[in-house]
Structures are given as structure tokens and as C-alpha cells.
Amino acid sequence: MAQIFSRRADLYFRLGLIAVLGLPIVLAISGFAYYRSSYFTKVGEYVAQPVPFSHKHHAGELGIDCRYCHTGVEKAAFAGLPPTETCMTCHSQLWTNAPMLAPVRLSLATDTPLRWQRVHDLPDYVYFDHSVHVNNGVGCSSCHGNVKSMPLMMKAEPLSMGWCLDCHRDPAKNLRREDEIFDMTWHPAADQDDKGRMLLAHYGIRPDHLTDCSVCHR
Ligand code: HEC
Ligand code: HEC
Ligand code: HEC
Ligand code: HEC
Ligand code: HEC
């Protein structure tokens, strides 16, 4: 039988076939990598803000308490952002002519809030509550990283469902004492296994229900 395709054409055909069959697999793998990558989750990225507010300077070097500006964090679902008046308690006297602070002065003068861009923003179908975590042994830095070292705010964790569940399955490994909640450099100690078990009982946490869908999707 005469060859319909020449050897060369046959080779091209095979290569083409490999490309066609292989492409979806390559796309799937790279798509997955993209989904998991920090580009997608925006971990470590800065967000442009109306004023380049520095946590490193204010919370780190000046040592202003997180709760001075995020007043809801222990009492409510939302930590909240400070109104312009909070900035002006200091900046009506300090750095009063700094161009960097012009938007803050304008905000006060025109009685329009500064439009801070969200850095952490869960989809609307996810329920989250700060007070539940902060009052039950989970510190800021477990979810936000070392905020006191950040010149500009950035996401330290992906805030994906898998990330939430990783802690909800076994919270003991991340639990701290009450006086350690605002410690931005906290790390589990060598005896965290024992400590965690004790703290689980201390806070009365029952991890068995924490992975139910209805906890976060209500
Ligand atoms: C002097 C006021 C002030 C203090 C003190 C302060 N913050 Fe903030 N914080 C802000 C402002 C203003 C923003 C919004 C601008 C930004 O994202 O940088 C913000 C944003 C944040 C965000 C991101 C919000 C978002 O958009 O998702 C986190 C997380 C945060 N602060 C945590 C902390 C922690 C933890 C501390 C204590 C170590 C702290 N802050 C202390 C004023 C403050
Ligand atoms: C408790 C006092 C205090 C409060 C409240 C405060 N600041 Fe400041 N801020 C300072 C001081 C002190 C400096 C630094 C001056 C210097 O460099 O010596 C400063 C500096 C700044 C600077 C200059 C850049 C930098 O970080 O060095 C910006 C911008 C700024 N603050 C924005 C804000 C905003 C926005 C708020 C409100 C969310 C705010 N500050 C609240 C005390 C305060
Ligand atoms: C268990 C994880 C977790 C802990 C612990 C945590 N946060 Fe958050 N934080 C988040 C998530 C998730 C968001 C985004 C919420 C959303 O989009 O509705 C957020 C948002 C914020 C915001 C933006 C404003 C708001 O209320 O949504 C601020 C400010 C903030 N956190 C400050 C803090 C401070 C200060 C602490 C410690 C006292 C803290 N957080 C502890 C997970 C956490
Ligand atoms: C580092 C650990 C940790 C991380 C990360 C974490 N959580 Fe939690 N979460 C806890 C603990 C511990 C409790 C239990 C408090 C209790 O049982 O009293 C809890 C409780 C909750 C509750 C309340 C449960 C109830 O019984 O009503 C909600 C809602 C919740 N978490 C949502 C989230 C979401 C959404 C995320 C991710 C964005 C998240 N959590 C990330 C530790 C964590
Ligand atoms: C501890 C909190 C938590 C629990 C428990 C939880 N989820 Fe989620 N879920 C999330 C968060 C956070 C997101 C948003 C993820 C994102 O934005 O990347 C999410 C997203 C989703 C999505 C959207 C698609 C996706 O993957 O982005 C679906 C569907 C979903 N969850 C289903 C479920 C089901 C079914 C369960 C129970 C088996 C469940 N979730 C339990 C926190 C939770």
C-alpha cells in the first residue's frame, strides 16, 4: 500500500497530535499554578493609597496600639479603619505642612472620608468575624504577618478557603495567651503541643464543628 503521508508529514502529524492533546494539560497545570501563585492571591503586593500610611512608623516605631485606630477588632466582626479625626489628633500639630499629608487635611476640611483601598477583602459569600478570633487565642500576626515591620500594608497570607481550613482543622498549633494577641513576632514555642492543648480547653474551643461549611458560608 502506498504511503498516504510522507514520513515527514507523518512526523508533523504526530507532533501536532502531541501539541493538541498536551495543550489542555499544560494549560491546566499552569492555570493551577497561577491560581495558587502570589500573583493571584496578591500576597506581598502593595496597594496604592491616598496617603502612604506607614504601620512600621506608627505602630512599630511610635508604638501606637492597633486598637487606637482599629477600634472594632476585639468587639465586632470588623476591625474598622480610623476616621480622619484620629490622624488629626497628632497631625494638627505634627507635620502640619507636609505635602504627603495634604489629602488628610483636605479630608478634614471638606468633611469627606479618606478613600482607603482594601488590602484584605473576602468575597461577600464568606462570613468572617474578628472578635471571635482575637478573643479566642488567635493573634493578628497569624493572619496579617508582622504589621509593625510594614512601611506599606500588604497581605501576608492568601486568605483562601484552604488557608482558613488549615487552622480550623487544628487550631491548637496557632493558639496564644491573651497577652500575646498583639505580639507581631509571636512564633509557636517548642512546647506548643502541650500549650495548645491547654489553651484549647482554656478558651473552650471545640474544633470538631469548625470545618462545617455553615461556619463560614451562612
Ligand atoms: C495610627 C493609626 C493606625 C494604627 C495604630 C494601626 N493601623 Fe492598621 N491601618 C491604619 C490605616 C489608616 C489603614 C488603611 C491604609 C492601609 O491599608 O495602609 C490600616 C490598615 C490596616 C490593615 C489592612 C486593612 C485592609 O485594607 O485590609 C491591617 C491588617 C491593619 N491595619 C492592621 C493593623 C495592626 C495589626 C496594627 C497594630 C500592630 C495596626 N494596624 C495599627 C491605621 C492604623
Ligand atoms: C499618635 C500620633 C499620630 C497619629 C494618631 C498619626 N500619626 Fe502620622 N505621624 C506621626 C509622627 C510622630 C510622624 C513622624 C514625624 C517624623 O518623621 O518624625 C508621622 C508621620 C506621618 C506621615 C509621614 C510619613 C511617615 O510615615 O514618616 C504620614 C503620611 C502620616 N503620618 C499619616 C498619618 C495618617 C494617615 C494617620 C491617621 C490614620 C496618622 N498619620 C496618625 C504621629 C501620628
Ligand atoms: C483569623 C485571621 C485574622 C486575625 C486573627 C485578624 N485578622 Fe484582620 N482581617 C482578616 C480577614 C480575613 C480580613 C478581611 C475581612 C473581609 O474582607 O471581610 C481582615 C481585615 C482586617 C482589617 C480591614 C478592616 C476590616 O475590619 O475588615 C483590619 C484593619 C484588620 N483586619 C486588623 C486586624 C487586627 C488589628 C488584628 C489583631 C488584633 C486582626 N486584624 C486579626 C483576618 C484576620
Ligand atoms: C490561625 C487560626 C485561624 C485562622 C487562620 C482562621 N480561623 Fe476562624 N477560627 C479560629 C478559631 C480558634 C475559632 C474558634 C473560636 C471558638 O470556637 O470560640 C475560629 C472561629 C471562626 C468563626 C466562628 C465560628 C463559630 O462557632 O461561630 C468563623 C466564622 C471563622 N472562624 C471564619 C474564618 C474564616 C473565614 C477564615 C479565613 C479567612 C478563618 N476563620 C481563619 C481560628 C482560625
Ligand atoms: C473556615 C472557613 C470556611 C469553611 C469552613 C468553608 N469555607 Fe468555603 N470558602 C471560604 C473562603 C475564605 C472562600 C473564598 C476563597 C477565595 O476567595 O479564594 C471560600 C470559597 C468557597 C467556594 C467558592 C469557590 C472557590 O473555591 O473559590 C465554594 C464553592 C465553597 N467555599 C464551598 C464550601 C463548602 C462546600 C464547604 C464545606 C465543606 C466550605 N466551603 C467550608 C471559607 C470557608
pLDDT digits (tens, 9 = 90+) for 128-172: 999 999 999 999 999 999 999 999 999 999 999 999 999 999 999
Q: Cell numbers at residue 94, please? A: 505634627
Q: Does residue 103 sit within a domain?
A: no
Q: Which of 133, 141, 157, 159 to mutate to test the pocket of ligand 4 (most atoms within 8 A of CB)?
A: 133
The whole-model pTM stands at 0.91
Single out the residue of 162, 53, 160, 148 nearest to residue 98, CA to CA: 53
Q: Does residue 139 sit within a domain?
A: yes
Task: Determine the residue type at 117.
Answer: Q
Counted domains in the chain: 2
142 shares a domain with 196: yes
Reported confidence tier of residue 27, pLDDT bands at 50, 70, 90: low
14 shares a domain with 60: no
- Ligand 3, residue 119: give the atom nearest the CA: 23
68 shares a domain with 120: yes
Q: Does residue 94 sit within a domain?
A: no
The domain in which residue 67 lies consists of 55-81+116-216
- Cα-to-centroid distance, 164 and ligand 4 (Å): 7
Q: Cell numbers at residue 182, please? A: 498583639
- Cα-to-centroid distance, 111 and ligand 2 (Å): 20
- Cα-to-centroid distance, 70 and ligand 1 (Å): 7
Q: Cell numbers at residue 61, please? A: 516605631
Instruction: Dump pLDDT digits (tens) for 31-85.
Output: 555 555 666 678 988 889 999 999 999 999 999 999 999 999 999 999 999 999 9
175 shares a domain with 74: yes
